Amino acid sequence: MISRYIPENLRHAPVPGVKGFAILTGIEASLRGLLISIWPLVLYRALSEDAAAVSLIYLAAGIASLVWGLMVPWISRFIPRRWVYTGGVGFYLIGGTCAIVGGPLLTPLALVISNLATVTVFICTNAYVMDYIARHELGRSETLKMLYSAASWALGPVIGVFLWTWWEPLPFLIGMGFAAALLATFWFLRLGNGKLITRARAPAPNPLAYLGRFFRQPRLIAGWLFAVLRSSGWWVYVVYLPIFCIEAGLGDKVASAVFSVSNTFLFLSPFMLRWMQKRGLRRAIRVTFAACSACFLLAAFGQAWPPITVAALFAGSLFLVMLDTFGGLPFLMAVKPAERTEMSAVYSSFRDVSGILSPAAAWLVLLVAPITGVFAAGAAGLAVMVAIAGRLHPRLGEQRPVARDQAT
């Protein structure tokens, strides 16, 4: 038959692997890393330098992203996943256009639309990862994704602020270029719609029905809470450190420079993973949350000497990177195959919940305390996770032994 002479990679789409997902993550990191330090500054200027107003905008963006993220699985029942992913990347292009036009109305709208893009792409990517990556390979997958993203997160914030001060539309135009590259790479990898899992019964018509299954699984709840609080730590670091530096007279470039340097910790993610494996997942998560909480508490004393806040949050970012490396494993390891898309949507909501929780808490704190009070509130939230992590199984994360009859 003539088909025997057709190359294998043309007859059958290659099975996506760890490296393919790492490349996708690296490209998206180039986009987000370039803009992450710009958003607080752009909003702070567009809203007449009102830190409380910036918090309210982030709160509104978080609510919009949460509602949208919970609807993505329902949308995926009618629109193939590859087109949902494509639409998510399209949101990046729309958001960038709104940011270029700017103004007190379009600038907040640009942030909201960009958040919708991040949520959509994250949900679809996580569902693909759980489709194609074996359970015992999840740790290596997360580590490789962080390695491929390290340079973008390390250089992007400083480069983005520099380009923005030179010509304000330029970083958004470059970000839109990265979005186009992300979409082209996605279609080149031919991820399709993922693996089809047949259920015993049809899914419930209510798009939120899967939340009940989530709340009946304590391991999923704990893993989701870990993601929410570590994301809240990043929110405080990325959004409120720049504002603190401006109010303390340290300038608008100090925070982006510190953030870029702290992202070089991503290159250490393989060593962080080995450190976790030697101590066990439960112990590693508890120690890391405790150390991060201590750093944020120290940052609260920056009202007397501002450099201590910068140094303490920089040290805390090391532990946030460690939590990024292995803090998501408890959730990913507990997901059932038939619930990949739905639970991926639940997991992705950690960004939106933290995007609601962090600015809402900060807004309340700023009513009665200076901005250093936000760092103290972050320390309290991180400390709570130490107790929750103590309820994890001691052997969680260890590779299951292969049965003797299967090995022979």
Lowest mean pLDDT among 153-157, 201-205, 272-276: 201-205
Tell me the average pLDDT across 362-370. 86
Tell me the mean pLDDT in the region 2-28.
62
Q: What is the pLDDT of residues 18-64, one digit of tens each?
A: 777 888 888 888 898 888 878 888 888 887 667 677 778 888 888 88
Residue 213 confidence (pLDDT) above 50: yes
Tokens 């290596």 -> residue: 140
Better-scored residue on pLDDT, 126 or 310: 310
Element of type H or E holding 31: helix 18-35
Q: Tell me how far apart the alpha carbons of residues 285 and 289 are, in angstroms, rounded to a whole number.
A: 6
Q: Angle CA(188)–CA(192)–CA(198) in degrees, nearest 5?
A: 160
Q: Which residues contact 83 (CB under 8 A, 6 or more apart)?
A: none
Sign, CA dihedral 230-95-356-78, equals negative
| DSSP class of 356 | H
Tokens of 286: 């508890």
- C-alpha of 189 from chain center: 22
Split at pLDDT 50, 70, 90, the class of 396 is low
Q: Report the alpha-carbon distance of residue 277 to residue 96 in Å, rounded.
A: 41
Q: Which range is most confident: 163-167, 175-179, 254-258, 263-267?
A: 175-179
Q: Does 259 or 195 have the greater pLDDT score?
A: 259
**CATH code, 14-193+210-396:** 1.20.1250.20
How far apart, in Å, are the Cα atoms of 333 and each of 76, 135, 203, 223, 329? 23, 7, 22, 9, 6
Which tens digit of pLDDT belongs to each residue from 86-108?
A: 999 999 999 999 989 878 788 88
Give the pair of three-digit tokens for residue 45: 């200027």
Select the more confidently predicted residue: 198 or 111.
111
- Residue 407 is predicted with a pLDDT of 43
Residues 104, 32: Cα–Cα separation, whole Å:
22
Residue linked to tokens 């900060």 = 362
What is the reported pLDDT for 338?
A: 66
Query: Is-contact 390 282, C-beta < 8 A?
Result: yes
Mean pLDDT of 119-131: 81
pLDDT for res 193:
62
Distance, in Å, from the CA atom of 137 to the CA atom of 367, rounded to the nearest integer, reads 46
Helix (H, G, I), strand (E, B) or coil at 252: coil
Closest residue by Cα to residue 169 from 96, 92, 239, 115: 96
pLDDT at 59: 81
Per-domain boundaries in the chain: 14-193+210-396
Torsion angle defined by CA atoms of residues 172, 234, 256 and 262, in that order, rounded to the nearest 10 degrees: -120
Burial 389-398 (b: 16+ CB within 10 A, else e): beebeeebbe
Residue 141 CB burial class (10 angstroms; 0-12, 13-18, ≥19): buried
Closest CA to 258 of 309, 294, 325, 326: 309
Q: Output the pLDDT for position 67.
A: 85
- Return the HEC string of 164-192: HHHCCCHHHHHHHHHHHHHHHHHHHHCCC
Residue 1: CB atoms within 10 A of its CB come to 5
Helices (H), 36-137: 38-46, 51-76, 81-101, 106-132
pTM: 0.70
